[in-house]
Amino acid sequence: MKYVARLQISRYVYVFIAALLIVLPVSGYVMQWTGQKLTALRTRETELHATLSQTQEELDRLKSEDPRKTNQVLKQEILDLKKTFVAAINVYEDLVKLRESTPKTSALDSLFASALTYLAKENVASADATLKKLADGIKTETTKLAVAVVIPANVPESNAPPSSGYKRQKVVVDGTGFLVDIVAADLNSTKVIIDTASDNTCANNCPVLPLAEYAARSGAYAGINGTYFCPETYPTCADKKNSFDVLVMNKNKVYFNSDNNVYSTVPAVVFSGNSMRLYAQSLQWGRDTGVDAVIANRPLLVQDGNVMFGGNDDAKESLRGNRSFVGGSGNMGYIGVVHGATVAESAKTLQALGIRNAINLDSGGSTALWAGGYKAGPGRNLPNVVLFIRK
């Protein structure tokens, strides 16, 4: 019996040992797997704590901010960018105008490129500073060009307009000589007309022609550029290319911009028969088609022999350049260009010539005077012109 008991005990021991041999490796694997999972969970927990902490910090920061103040700052930043962008467009248009007079603008072109780069980076302060430097450079170069107008020695000095036809002369005003190209016409034998490339009012993508072509198709012996208009090369003219806003009646008795009240205060001249009438505001004129020509533009230069424009704060009108005009005295009509003058100096020059009534026309790159050939210009293509034709 003792032997049997020991045998049974031994059998239990063997079974227990065998069980251990099976269980121990399995439990070791389980413990290892469990440890790995615990480590992963602890790592994830640490990450979650970090994320929660960062989120809490952001929430605390947002709570401490004043939304109204933040909105005001953003609004001001947007306004500053818009203001600088508009300034960039205006300076670019001045640069385009300068290019019409000289090809030497490479240094100024580089400045404009730098300003655009600053704008792209939203660096408003640097963009503003660069644009100011560019504007000053354009003004300096424009002034140099005006001063560079040299009156040839063979040009006669005279403060009286020609009795008829074209003449180039030197007119002295307050001790300063100005070069003037002028065409005089006796209105008893000359008819003044306005020719337009468009058949009626045009708001965008309007047709334009060179002055010489207008003269040829109308049989004119002389002509000059007409009103201010929006050249297609200017960024601000993208949605109104080659359009003009003021009152005009062309040779076909068609009135342009008749309903445009915004520009109805602009002065106008009316040619009819053998005389010219001047109106300080075009709203003072009706829509009579019995006259020969109506054209409005600004500013009014001379009225009844008195200078009506002495200058203003407009930087462009205060710079010297070529200034086109149309005017009259009695039964005489005049078109011409005063070179290297401000608008105010142009008015004084016309008064010195004895022209009693006159208005300013477009200038700069639009300047063109034709009398059997170009005497000034030819300038850019134009939407309207003033022509002298034989009766």
The full DSSP string for 178-189 is EEEEEEEEETTT
pLDDT digits (tens, 9 = 90+) for 192-236: 999 999 999 999 999 999 999 999 999 999 999 999 999 998 988
Q: Is the pLDDT of residue 306 over 70?
A: yes
> Residue 196 pairs with which residues in a beta bridge?
384
Please give the average per-residue pLDDT across 273-277, as a whole number. 96
pLDDT band at 37 (very low <50, low <70, confident <90, very high): low
Give the highest mean pLDDT range of 7-21, 24-38, 100-114, 376-390: 376-390
Residue 240 banded pLDDT, cuts 50, 70, 90? very high
Residue 251 has pLDDT above 90, yes or no: yes
Ordered by start, the domain boundaries in the chain are 67-147, 165-390
Write the CA distances from 155 to 51, 158, 171, 324, 348, integer angstroms: 86, 9, 10, 19, 20
**Mean pLDDT, the chain, integer:** 86
Give the tens place of pLDDT for each residue, 134-174. 999 988 888 787 777 889 999 999 999 999 999 999 999 99
pLDDT > 90: percent of the chain: 61
* pLDDT of 348 strictly over 70: yes
Mean per-residue pLDDT, 251-277: 96
Stated as kind and residue range, the H or E segment containing 108 is helix 106-120
Report whether pLDDT(99) > 80. yes
Using DSSP's 3-state secondary structure scheme, residue 283 falls into: helix
Which range has the worst mean pLDDT, 77-81, 223-227, 246-250?
Answer: 77-81
How high is the pLDDT of residue 68? 64
Q: Is the dihedral of CA 338, 344, 350, 355 positive or negative?
A: positive
Angle value at C-alpha 43, between 42 and 45, nearest 5 degrees: 60
Cβ-contact 241, 204 below 8 angstroms:
yes
Joined tokens for residue 104: 């030497």
pLDDT value of position 313 = 58
DSSP-assigned beta bridge partners for residue 357: 328
As beta bridge partners, residue 296 has 268
Of the listed ranges 32-36, 72-76, 379-383, the one predicted with least confidence: 32-36
Residue with tokens 């109506």: 294
Structure token digits, residue 5: 């008991």
| Of the candidate ranges 66-70, 290-294, 337-341, the one whose mean pLDDT is the lowest | 66-70
The arithmetic mean of pLDDT across residues 272-289, rounded, is 95
Q: Which residue has the higher pLDDT, 60 or 134?
A: 134
* Residue with more model confidence, 6 or 131: 131
Gyration radius of the chain over CA positions: 41
Dist CA 116 CA 118 (whole Å): 5
Which stretch, 37-41, 145-149, 298-302, has highest mean pLDDT?
298-302
